[in-house]
Amino acid sequence: MSGESIGRVVIVGGGTAGWMAAAAAARFLDDGQRTVTLVESDAIGTVGVGEATIPPIRGFNARLGIDEGEFLRATGGTPKLGIEFVGWTDGGDRYIHPFGTHGRDIEGLNFHQLWLKLRDRDGIGGIDDYAMSAVAARAGRFAPPSPDPRSPLSGLEYAYHFDAGLYAAFLRHRAEAQGAKRVEGRIVGVDHDARGHVAAVRLEGDRRIEGDLFIDCSGFRSLLLGEAMGVAFEDWSHWLPCDRAIAVPTARTEPLLPYTRATAHGAGWQWRIPLQHRTGNGHVYASAFIGDEEAERVLCGNLDAAPTAEPRRLRFTAGRRQRMWAGNVVALGLAGGFLEPLESTSIHLIQAGISKLFGLFPDMRFTDIERDEYNRLMADQYASIRDFIILHYAATRRDDTPFWNYVRTMALPDTLARKIALFREKGRIFRYDDELFAIPSWVAVMVGQGIMPDGYDPVVDALDADKVAGALRQMRANYAAMAQQMPVVR
Ligand code: FAD
């Protein structure tokens, strides 16, 4: 049984979330009867600092029919092969969390288990040496993945760094060309219907916009889901105490590195994101452990070029709304929740929200079945990403500041504690349900942070160890040789 179709989709907010939603809605929901309206206020402005992404962004762009070259030119974009973490384990270390896979499974056995067993033998090297993306990143080189499973390039994956403001403008142009209507104005109130759903938003100047489905992309304020629908915020700052950031762009430097860098400091960490026309930098820190002025000094003392604008300060709280969809309101982006940008996951969460909303698109009855499923799926996504981010802090050995002492000894979510314990035993990792990060990502960060399992999965003893070691040495040589053939990033 189905009900009457939704005719009027209203998107509140024109940041990255709003324009991603509008571009997708204009492309997939426009059946000639449905209208898509986006309301935003230039006077309020956007956050606009999200600049690093993860590989599924390529699928999002492809589904919108976006040409990669055009997109990169429009957004100052560059390729991203992963994230280099500096100083997270004991202060003097560095490792890469690469996109894509490590090595190749042999006879159905997980590559990382084979590596765990043989890692002390001559010529085997670190696990990074088996990730095409990490080997290429270290060499400052890039080439697209190969569809040929025999090529070392088949294990490479990539995403983008881009200017989030330019991306929103690029999507706006496409959305408007496909029929989405933009309304400029500040929302000052919300009208509810008899069911408690949002019936309309009221704008300054006595204007009113009615809708059937409202997508709340209003940023941290969460105008519709939080304020109008009263959905509470679940605070995760006891696990993720960083609550402020200072962002500053600097001039572009050479060579252009095909990865994000995340450098740990005394009470947080600093990002470095290379774009075509500038480098994005920011210090994410915990205000309970460092003052704003000191945090700015740390940032400015660790830049590799001159700033091109004044530093910008931002505040946030880690966590999410208890439900992302209430009544006829679905929140995307910062209106739904925030996880610090350590693994560049916020734009992905917007995209995941859009695709799940379209996959569960309601009709005018707004049944619980679709809503509950959406809320369950999004809650799982948030929790699994949260755990992955916490892992970087919890697995540190740093004891040089009160901040690191706090995160190293804090109580962990049960889900993460179980994952770490399982890995410590025999290096086992399982990917649950709709979890975003795949096994190679968990392995890269666990090993990178210095969690080395006590043993390995005994099933790998079924294979001849000398032969496997020979295969691993060959793989390692192939990745190194392939990287040298790839073009230097420009
Ligand atoms: P906003 O950009 O805040 O947009 C809100 C919109 O709502 C604006 O258009 C505003 O005008 C409108 N609005 C609000 N109130 C009203 C009103 N009353 N009337 C009318 N309009 C209104 N993400 C990543 O994926 N990668 C990263 O590297 C990354 N780095 C980040 C670093 C920091 C320090 C922060 C804080 C975030 C980072 N993010 C990152 C997250 C990313 O910036 C956001 O997910 C993304 O920009 C989406 O923001 P948004 O559209 O939800 O909100």
144-153 pLDDT tens trace: 999 998 999 9
- What does the pLDDT read at residue 3? 85
pLDDT for 48 beyond 80: no
Higher pLDDT, 33 or 470: 470
Alpha carbon of 338 to ligand 1 centroid (Å):
10
Q: In degrees, to the nearest 5, what angle opens at C-alpha 361 toward C-alphas 360 and 366? A: 100
Alpha carbon of 75 to ligand 1 centroid (Å):
17
Residues 335-388 have pLDDT tens digits of 999 999 999 999 999 999 999 999 999 999 999 999 999 999 999 999 999 999
Share above pLDDT 90 across residues of the chain, in percent, rounded to a whole number: 94
CA 88 to chain centre: 19
Establish whether residue 336 lines the binding site of ligand 1, counting it when its CB lies within 6 angstroms of any ligand atom: no
Q: Where are the beta strands (DSSP E) in 88-165?
A: 94-98, 159-161
Establish whether residue 14 lines the binding site of ligand 1, counting it when its CB lies within 6 angstroms of any ligand atom: yes
Ligand 1 atom having least distance to the Cα of 280: 28
pLDDT for 450 beyond 80: yes
State mean pLDDT over 293-313: 97
Share above pLDDT 70 across residues of the chain, in percent, rounded to a whole number: 100
Find all residues with CB under 8 Å of 112, minimum gap 6, and list them.
102, 103, 127, 427, 439, 440, 443
pLDDT for 99 beyond 80: yes
Alpha carbon of 327 to ligand 1 centroid (Å):
23
Residues 315-328 have pLDDT tens digits of 999 999 999 999 99
Decide: residue 471, CB within 10 A, 0-12 exposed, 13-18 middle, 19+ buried: middle
By most ligand atoms within 8 Å of CB, the mutation choice from 49, 184, 240, 287 for ligand 1 is 49
Higher pLDDT, 194 or 50: 194
For the chain, the average pLDDT equals: 96
- What does the pLDDT read at residue 433? 78
Establish whether residue 163 lines the binding site of ligand 1, counting it when its CB lies within 6 angstroms of any ligand atom: no
Which of 57, 99, 58 shows the shortest CA–CA distance to 82? 99
Residues 247-291 have pLDDT tens digits of 999 999 999 999 999 999 999 999 999 999 999 999 999 999 999
State mean pLDDT over 89-115: 94
By most ligand atoms within 8 Å of CB, the mutation choice from 283, 342, 346 for ligand 1 is 346
- What does the pLDDT read at residue 30? 76
- What does the pLDDT read at residue 1? 59
Q: How far apart are CA 267 and CA 264, in angstroms?
A: 8
Establish whether residue 333 lines the binding site of ligand 1, counting it when its CB lies within 6 angstroms of any ligand atom: yes
By most ligand atoms within 8 Å of CB, the mutation choice from 272, 334, 436 for ligand 1 is 334
Establish whether residue 344 lines the binding site of ligand 1, counting it when its CB lies within 6 angstroms of any ligand atom: yes
Q: How far apart are CA 219 and CA 224, in angstroms?
A: 10
Give rounded-to-5 percent helix, strand, coil for the chain.
Answer: 40, 20, 40
- Map out the domains of the chain with their CATH numbers: 1-82+158-242+316-456 (3.50.50.60)
Task: Name the residue with the closest Cα to ligand 1, atom 18.
Answer: 187
Give the β-pairing of 329-331 and 213-216. Answer: parallel
Alpha carbon of 413 to ligand 1 centroid (Å):
27
pLDDT for 180 beyond 80: yes
Alpha carbon of 217 to ligand 1 centroid (Å):
8
Establish whether residue 17 lines the binding site of ligand 1, counting it when its CB lies within 6 angstroms of any ligand atom: yes
Q: How far apart are CA 79 and CA 68, in angstroms?
A: 11
Establish whether residue 447 lines the binding site of ligand 1, counting it when its CB lies within 6 angstroms of any ligand atom: no
- What does the pLDDT read at residue 110? 94
Are the CB atoms for 392 and 449 separated by under 8 Å? yes
Are the CB atoms for 73 and 271 separated by under 8 Å? no
State mean pLDDT over 186-195: 97
The reply to whether 80 belongs to the active site is: yes
Alpha carbon of 45 to ligand 1 centroid (Å):
9
Establish whether residue 460 lines the binding site of ligand 1, counting it when its CB lies within 6 angstroms of any ligand atom: no
Establish whether residue 223 lines the binding site of ligand 1, counting it when its CB lies within 6 angstroms of any ligand atom: yes
3-state secondary structure of 106: strand
Ligand 1 atom having least distance to the Cα of 345: 25
Which of 452, 423, 476 shows the shortest CA–CA distance to 152? 476
Alpha carbon of 334 to ligand 1 centroid (Å):
6
By most ligand atoms within 8 Å of CB, the mutation choice from 37, 39, 44, 354 for ligand 1 is 44
pLDDT for 307 beyond 90: yes
pTM value > 0.95: yes
Q: How far apart are CA 103 and CA 200, in angstroms?
A: 54
Q: Which two tokens stand for residue 181?
A: 């209507």
